[in-house]
Amino acid sequence: MQIDELRQLIARQRPGWSLEQPFYTSPEVFEIERRTWLGDQWYVLGHVSEIPDPGSFMVRELLGESLIVVRGTDGEIRGFYNVCRHRGSRICERDGKASSLVCPYHAWSYRLDGSLRSAPAMAPEIDLKALNLRSAPVAEIGGVILGSLTADPQTLADARAEAQPMLEYHGIPNARIAARRSYPTAANWKLVMENFAECYHCYPSHPEYCSVMTHVEVFARKATPEAEGRWYAEQDRWFREDADQHSPAGTSQPDYSGRGRRVISRAPIGGGRKTESRNGEPVAPLMGQQSRFDGGFGAFGMNPFVALIMPNDHAILFQFLPTAAEHTDVIISWLVDGRAADSEVDVERMVWLWDVTTVQDKGIVELNAAGVRSRAYGPGPYSLLEPGSNGLVRSYLEGLSAAH
C-alpha cells in the first residue's frame, strides 16, 4: 500500500456509505494511520489516582508503544517512551513508585523528569546529556490522564477550559477507581468506534441499555419529529424543574448527532431513575459538587477515543486503544468518589449496565469484522440513525487526507 493508493481509496469513498474494505482490514493502512492520524490523536491512559504521589508511575501501551507516565517531584505528570537510551531495554515492567527510573539491564538510572542520572563506566567522550529519556505527550483534564504519540499539547487547551468545570462538578479529579474490566475486540478500531457512535443497533443488540436509557426510544427507534419534540420538551422541563441548578452546563443539551467532536453536556436518564443501575437506585455515594440525586448524567467526549459518562454517583471512563489492523483494546474504569468506602459501593450493580452492553458490543463488532473481510463486502449506506458513525468516518477521512 503506497500513499497514492490510499489517496485513491479516500477519493473513491461515497459520502454517507461505510468505508472500503482496506480501511477495516489492511495492516498497511493501519501502519500509515499509526504513523500519522492515529499518532496525532489523544487517548485515555488512566486516572490521576493511579499515580498519586511524586515518583508514582504507570506503564501503558499506546499504538504499539510502551509509555511510562510518571509524577515528578514537582507534582507534574510527564510521559516517556519506555526505552533505555543505552541498548534499548524496557525500563519499567509494571506500575510502581520510585525516586528514579532504573533500567534493570545495566542499571542506567533516570530522574523523574527523564534526565539521565547515572550510567556507569562510560567513555569520557560520550555526551551523557544527550541521552535523556525520549518524552511523549501526556496531559491531564480534570483528573483524566490523556496521552498521545505526536499530538501537539496545545490542541488540548480549548477542551480543557471547556470541560474542566463539568469534570470538577462531577468530582472526577478526586475520584478513585472502583473497578476496571477489559474487552479486547478482534476488529479494526473504526468498527469499534462506529459502533460506539450510534444507537441504531441498540434495539436489536442491547435490551438492558434500552430498559435504562430513555433517549434510546427517541433516537434509536422512532426518530420522528414528534417523538423528538416530546423528548426535548421533557428534557427542558427536567433542566428547569428537576436538575441540580449548580451544574455548570445544566442548560446545555446533549449532542446525539455525533457530528460535534467535543461533547460536554448533561441530560436526564429518565424514567425516574437516579442512576444507571438496573432498578435506578444509587450504587455509591454522590460525587463531587452534587448535593442530591437529580437523575442526570454528564458526558465528556473530545474525539472518538475519549469518552466519560457521569451519573450522579459514579463515572464510566472508556479507553479505546487501537493495537493492530484488526484488534482494538476496550477498557472501562468505573470511578467513584475518592472518599467512598468499599462498603458504600455496590460494584456489581454499578458495572452491570456497561459491562453487559460492552460484552454485547464486542460480539457484534467482531461479527462485523468477520463480515467485512469477505470478497462480498462493499460499502453500505448509513441509516438516518447513524449520523455519529458517518460523521466519525468523514472526519477521519479528512484528517487522514490532511495528514499527508
Smallest distance from its own copies to CB 149, Å: 8
Q: Does 370 bind its own copies (CB under 8 A)?
A: yes
Smallest distance from its own copies to CB 84, Å: 6
Q: Which residues contact 108 (CB under 8 A, 6 or more apart)?
A: 84, 85, 86, 102, 116, 118, 119
In the sheet that 56-62 helps form, which strands lie side by side, from edge to edge? 96-97, 56-62, 65-71, 77-81, 135-136
Smallest distance from its own copies to CB 162, Å: 32
The dihedral through the CA atoms of 293, 308, 195, 60 has a sign that is: negative
Smallest distance from its own copies to CB 154, Å: 22
Instruction: Give the integer Cα–Cα distance in Å for 350 and 332.
Output: 12
Choose, by CB under 8 A, the member of 3, 14, 27, 87 that binds its own copies: 87
Smallest distance from its own copies to CB 109, Å: 10
Q: Does 104 bind its own copies (CB under 8 A)?
A: yes
Q: Does 384 bind its own copies (CB under 8 A)?
A: yes
Binding segment (CB under 8 A) for its own copies, from list 41-49, 104-112, 175-183, 344-352: 104-112
Q: Cell numbers 454499578 label which residue?
A: 350
Q: Which residues contact 151 (CB under 8 A, 6 or more apart)?
A: 39, 40, 41, 42, 137
If the CB atoms of residues 109 and 155 are measured against its own copies, the closer one turns out to be 109
If the CB atoms of residues 331 and 364 are measured against its own copies, the closer one turns out to be 364
Binding characters for its own copies, 111-140, by CB under 8 A (x = yes): --------xxxxx--x----x--x-x----
If the CB atoms of residues 102 and 177 are measured against its own copies, the closer one turns out to be 102
Binding segment (CB under 8 A) for its own copies, from list 232-240, 260-268, 308-316, 360-368: 360-368
If the CB atoms of residues 295 and 391 are measured against its own copies, the closer one turns out to be 391
Choose, by CB under 8 A, the member of 6, 18, 188, 330 that binds its own copies: 18
Q: Can you count the helices (H) and strands (E) in the chain?
A: 12, 17
If the CB atoms of residues 287 and 365 are measured against its own copies, the closer one turns out to be 365
Query: CB under 8 Å, gap of 24 or more: what pairs does 275-279 form?
Result: 275/311, 275/312, 275/313, 275/314, 276/212, 276/213, 276/309, 276/311, 276/316, 276/353, 276/354, 277/212, 277/349, 277/350, 277/352, 277/353, 278/208, 278/211, 278/212, 278/349, 278/352, 278/353
Smallest distance from its own copies to CB 222, Å: 9
Binding segment (CB under 8 A) for its own copies, from list 64-72, 248-256, 284-292, 344-352: 64-72
The dihedral through the CA atoms of 321, 97, 71, 179 has a sign that is: positive
Instruction: Give the integer Cα–Cα distance in Å for 200 and 52.
Output: 40
**H or E element that contains 68:** strand 65-71
Choose, by CB under 8 A, the member of 53, 74, 241, 376 that binds its own copies: 376
Closest CA to 355 of 374, 384, 326, 331: 331
> What residues numbered 169-208 form the site for its own copies, per CB under 8 A?
194, 200-201, 203-205
CB 337 within 8 A of CB 171: yes
- Between helices 387-402 and 189-196, what is the axis angle to 10°? 140
Smallest distance from its own copies to CB 358, Å: 15
Q: Does 364 bind its own copies (CB under 8 A)?
A: yes
Choose, by CB under 8 A, the member of 71, 78, 85, 170 that binds its own copies: 85
Q: Which residues bind its own copies (CB under 8 A)?
A: 16, 18, 24, 64-66, 81-91, 93, 103-107, 119-123, 126, 131, 134, 136, 149, 194, 200-201, 203-205, 223, 364, 367-368, 370-377, 380-385
